[in-house]
Amino acid sequence: MCDLVARTGRHQQRYDAGCRLVAGCIPFRYRYDGGEYTDEKTIEVLMISSASGPGLLFPKGGWENDETVEEAAIREAIEEAGVKGELKDLLGHYDFRSKTHQDEFCPEGLCKAAMFALLVEEELESWPEQSIRMRSWLTIPEAVENCRHPWMREALEDGFLKWYSEKMDHD
């Protein structure tokens, strides 16, 4: 049984000009394919199953008014994917329309997601949404192919890969 509880409800959600503000992350790790003479590392990203249909997602959810956007991204990674780690840089802001999150403050379902890179350091054995979500570690090409939403694919291809090549590839 998981001691953590996922936040629910809309009373603490942040909005900006009728747009729901969302925070999320692209969790990643390295898989080392060490042979006798090589120590090649492959980047894998963690995706989760959607509670509302086919395809895979990155953890994300509403940014609430009692937390920073970074805290919201970390909370969503724990609640939805059951992972903890080091939050890295902001990858960008991505606009999308949500049919399931239309409400009195956001009748058009417009959302703006702040997406971060998260270097995973721990996978929890139990987490709040484990009964409705499956975790999958995928290579970048697999993630691009299985990504449910175009804006998440854009965050991966234009945000994460560009950031990674500029910041992380030189370590």
Question: 15-16 and 83-97: which strand pairing?
Answer: unpaired
Q: How high is the pLDDT of residue 23? A: 97
pLDDT tens, 76-129? 999 999 999 999 999 999 998 876 665 666 567 788 999 999 999 999 999 999
pLDDT tens, 23-58? 999 999 998 776 566 567 889 999 999 877 788 999
Give the separation between CA 166 and CA 45, rounded to whole angstroms: 18
How would residue 152 be classed by pLDDT, with cut points 50, 70 and 90? very high
